[in-house]
A and B are shown apart, each in its own frame.
Chain A
Amino acid sequence: TQLLEQSPQFLSIQEGENLTVYCNSSSVFSSLQWYRQEPGEGPVLLVTVVTGGEVKKLKRLTFQFGDARKDSSLHITAAQPGDTGLYLCAGGSGNTGKLIFGQGTTLQVKP
């Protein structure tokens, strides 16, 4: 059974601080996605990484896929209150379309 361990599960920081969220597995994934979910809404895709060692940037967010495609990280620079939400990593395997989600990280950025 493939599992994704996401940490930390809860993070409360002050505006302007940096943070990193980790997503780890013992399994190899063909791709890994990061989603952000706000209350009352479905998850919204932030990025997909598919190549081992790949780094993608989305404004103040930096995503990295591990060389072995078993882990990923999300780094936020100078967090803002608008970054508050639930961040989810999800791994995809082959062509099934199925996603395995990590436990999620609830981020609270205080002004």
Chain B
Amino acid sequence: KAGVTQTPRYLIKTRGQQVTLSCSPISGHRSVSWYQQTPGQGLQFLFEYFSETQRNKGNFPGRFSGRQFSNSRSEMNVSTLELGDSALYLCASSAGPGDRDGYTFGSGTRLTVV
């Protein structure tokens, strides 16, 4: 079956702009979580959605937001981009939150802010 699909793969934006990233989970998976990966901070949890509800949120400013649609696809948005937002953004899906089978990750979206 198809894996987790993230679009776009690469993105270059200018400071102050906003960006929207998309994630399509594995068919049947209802939980989607997002992570930011940078060399300095490693993998940091952004938020998690289940059944269109944000159930868990990491320690990021309000410029980072997300949503989940009824088909479980998720988007995350970053407004007023800063240079420090340059990172690999990873999406992960699971059957449900806390699923013992673990999480399947997409290939990520590489965001560069200039």
Q: State yes or no: do A and B come from one complex.
A: no
B residues lining the A interface (CB < 8 Å): none
Using a CB–CB distance below 8 Å, which chain A residues touch chain B? none
